Structure 1
């Protein structure tokens, strides 16, 4: 009876320990996953916020698809690192160290030799890891390029299909995928040695154990049981070594992604806030004082040309390039004008004349390379002396291409700002004369904009006008839509624009004659220079003016 009771007690104890071990494993897995998701989501949020704070110079050279892969794809590679990798790698390493200690306790000569084998294996693993991380980093970089290309391709699907460009798009896709395959194969070929380490290290340890075991047994220093125990200990570490091998592969990918994440965090904006000078309420005056501008990539091209000319002996290292070369790359040259408050400026010019660049400078997406841009009312403030958030608060822009989100009309109007209540939204739409348009939508403010219900180009423009009206800016920049609209939407749009511009300063990039009629002042641009600037009424009646000639030849055709 006593033996049976002891057996039952032992069985219950064993079962309890087994259940407890599983519960601990379950709890550890749960905690690890919670930590992984929390850490990676916070990291994604920080990366996305960091990218949003970077200026247009950065975004001009990095495609949206590439950034999505870097913000999400690279962070995904760290999920296992945060959840289980450290715990599993640490426990396996502790088990290997424990076995080595037991071997030292059995016989110091066996322990020393097996430790030496393990140390050599560790050094080889470290060397392979140093060579593998850059290779996986190259794979991740190419994958980001691939996703950037896919984003461009999917965005331009309609254009690609109508122009029968699919074969050329697929050819480039195949090239990128083949490059990715070659880079992955290069990493995997070297990774074979990492996979082989859990086989090679125990095999060498078995050889050492056999040689020492045979010698010590024949010398009567060790019993056959002790020799068997050495072999058993070595067999025990095979499992942890395989685990370490798998975890090291994960660690390599995690390290490659971590390097890329660190590189992205290292990117810093080139535009910095000034001393937080506030812009006044009400309509703003605009002053351009000798403003010249050239894009960053063109600056790099000029610097490269200068270095090539210096190497050829055409110019000294510290000489500038000829003015013709500089002007060929300059988008704006010596732009000077003043627009009083509550006045409307119509910008005219052919494509590439610098109209859009002026609007970008007013929003301080870029800083001019020469001169200054000032806003204010009476006392003018250089844009470089105020904050970017203050500029966004006081300057509103309606672009040709309106960005719509897969969300409700309410969220698209407020841009997810919960502080704007429905009463304020409805009042703004009433004031703009857009309440009828809203009532025509299936669910009013709750109408969801997605693939099943989207807005026409004209409706999107109406929504963009309401967005800007809600912010109550002192300066409105309107890049007029060049597409033709139906008469009903056109009438709504005209009334909304009239209301938006009332009591505000405005800069309109005009494409049609009736839009120009709103302007008080006209500026005609050509090759980045002001060809003409003056009051619309005066220029329209002056046969010698550029504006007069544009009106005579047909504005839409002349500035296309």
Structure 2
């Protein structure tokens, strides 16, 4: 609960002026709600006592003015309530998205994109609705109920005790049924998140699903998710309906009790006709307030579950922590893996005391079977994970001592799976960085030898790219990735199987672009195809997470007893 309160305070604090104004409007609305019906009571008692027409008209006019003022206050307060709610939750949504981007790869392997989308957008949307409704639909009505009880007690303590007993009963029921209902709503949100994750994964794998005849299985699993969603939705709706029914029955009983007491007190003169009407009006207003709270109970319950999940995600800390801030020299950097050991879990070891050094400005080719640890080495270099033992160093500085932003600013990575956005060529190569001008982009294409390819684009930098569509081949997508890296101008380049599935013509084009990109930079090339490493300076061959061979490429290639030479003879990496 303390975490939840701190989270809300964090995002409401920048809105404190609006919040203060909203509170003032709230109390003004409550005061008008309580004062307006008193004019009706005065009107009835005045009419019964034979008051003059002018006096009665004055009371009526005051009632009308108060009613109009109430509507104006509610309208203005409603605007500020929505404004505060959306400003706060939009800031929270942005921070959660940024927080997710900064969490480790291990976290993202355990949580699907669909699930995180449900947290960042779905749960925050629920919280936004709650905050927009909370002031007047929940908090305002609760304060109004307290004011009504105070005024009823001042009129007649017996009726006040009746309404107080009723209100205490409702509070106890509300707390009890809320604790019963929240788990159902939490389960419903988790079920929706699971369904979103399932759909996201399957829709992105449509081609493989159809090609391998997996559609019946996918539809079967979808039906299971939908059936689970129906069960969870039914349970949450029933829990809300049970509460609503109990409250409505108790409201009817309280209203009947108020009428009975009023009828008993009126003949003895303990209460006037106008006061009976006033108490009746207040009883209905109290009933309306509790019904409104009940109506929004599902939002309150959903918001409680949402804030729990948001707080859990918000307070998830990355395992890879920012360094204290070491310094690196300018230009290409030495890379050293010093007795590096690492495993993705306690049961297995992916790397076991891997050691090799790469001088600044030179390139190394990492070879080995699938699962030998090649990609893992590049992830440790970028600190997607941290080593279990040993150290990765840049220019004799442990990467764990560097700030993550500074480290990753010096490293550019190109993989075989390039993420494209439904946006222009300009936005895809700059990743929506408006500070990079068109001339800089065109010079990057020219420097990589891609001017002819760029000239073939129908609308130049305004050509719209579609991920998974027909606008770009896999090779062209990698050309974009190379250009992205060139625009960043890093000092270390990592090519992770970047040419593993290209046609020969595109591979030659990418090979020329890669050669220009690596010029003057330290390069690490992960490959299954030997053609990719024919021009590197050094070779490291991995087997079951260990270095089984390392050395200058030319020497290993000339040594018929080397494993690299055997790989060349066999034509595979």
The TM-score normalised by the length of structure 2 is 0.84
1:441 alignment partner, one of 422, 437, 457: 457
Alignment-derived partner of residue 318 in structure 1: none
Q: Does 1:250 align with 2:266?
A: no
1:273 CA displacement: 2.0
When structure 1 is superposed on structure 2, of 70-79 and 163-172 the one drifting more is: 163-172
Contact 1:279 1:390 in 2 (8 A): no
Rounded to whole Å, the distance in 2 between the matches of 1:249 and 1:353 is 52
**Alpha-carbon distance in structure 1 between the residues aligned to 2:265 and 2:412:** 87
Deviations 1:381-429 (A, max 9, x none): 1111111111111111111111112222112112222332222222221
Matching residue of 2:127: 78
- C-alpha contact 2:170 2:247 (8 A) present in aligned 1: no
Number of paired residues? 521
Q: Which residue of 2 aligns with 1:517?
A: 534
> What's the counterpart of residue 526 of structure 1?
543
1:114 matched residue in structure 2 = 163
Structure 2 Cα separation of the partners of residues 19 and 97 of structure 1 = 23
Structure 2 residues not aligned, in runs of 5+ = 1-51
Aligned to 1:309: none
- Residue matched to 2:6: none
Instruction: Show CA shifts across 1:459-499 (max 9, x none).
Output: 11111111112222221111233555345433321211111
The whole-number CA distance in structure 1 between the counterparts of 2:102 and 2:66 is 53
CA 1:528–1:217: 2 relative to 1, 3 Å: same
Q: Distance in 2 between matches of 1:491 and 1:270?
A: 40
Aligned residue number for residue 364 of structure 1 = 383
Distance 1:90 1:287, change over 3 A: closer
CA distance in 1, matches of 2:527, 2:73: 69
Distance 2:210 2:61 in 1: 70
How do 1:432-511 and structure 2 match up within 5 A?
Answer: 432-450=448-466, 454-511=471-528
Match of 1:209 among 247, 258, 261: 258
Secondary structure of residue in 1 paired with 2:412: strand
Is residue 211 of structure 2 the alignment partner of residue 142 of structure 1? no
- Contact 1:202/1:235 (CA < 8 Å) preserved in 2? no
Counterpart of 2:422 in structure 1 is: 406
CA shift for structure 1 position 55: 1.6
Q: Residue 221 of structure 2 corresponds to which residue in structure 1?
A: 172
Separation in structure 2 between the aligned mates of residue 508 and residue 190 of structure 1, nearest angstrom? 58
Alignment-derived partner of residue 183 in structure 1: 232
Q: How does 1:516-555 map to 2 (within 5 A)?
A: 516-555=533-572
Q: 348, 354, 358: which one pairs with 1:335?
A: 354
1:424 alignment partner in structure 2: 440
CA contact (8 A) 2:466 2:472 kept: no
Alpha-carbon distance in 2 for matches of 1:107, 1:162: 79
CA distance 1:446–1:80, shift in 2 (3 Å): same
Of 407, 410, 433, the residue aligned with 1:391 is 407
- What value does the CA root-mean-square deviation take over the aligned residues? 2.7
Counterpart CA distance in 2 for 1:236 and 1:475 is 70
The Cα of 1:268 is off from its aligned counterpart by 0.5
Q: Residue 40 of structure 2 corresponds to which residue in structure 1?
A: none
3-state SS in 2 of match to 1:368: coil
Contact 1:373-1:382 within 8 A present in 2 as well: yes
Which residue of 2 is the match for residue 290 of structure 1? 339
Structure 2 distance, partners of 1:104, 1:5, is 31
Partners of 1:59 and 1:215 in 2: CA distance? 69
Maintained 8 Å contact 2:368/2:528: no
Contact 1:510–1:516 (8 Å) recurs in 2: yes
| Secondary structure of the structure 2 residue equivalent to 1:77 | helix
For structure 1, the 5+ residue unaligned runs are 303-328
Per-residue CA distance 1:151-186 (angstroms, 9 max, x = gap):
101110111111111111121122122222222222
- Provide closer, same or farther for how the CA distance between residues 372 and 47 of structure 1 changes in structure 2, counting only shifts above 3 A: same
Conservation of the 8 A alpha-carbon contact between 1:100 and 1:111: yes
Matched, 1:200 2:253: no
Tell me, in whole angstroms, the C-alpha distance in 2 between the residues paired with 1:100 and 1:404.
Answer: 62
Distance 1:513 1:229 in 2: 91
Residue 229 of structure 1: CA displacement? 5.8
Shift of 1:8: 10
User: Are the structure 2 counterparts of residues 447 and 223 from structure 1 closer, same or farther at C-alpha, using a change threshold of 3 Å?
Assistant: closer
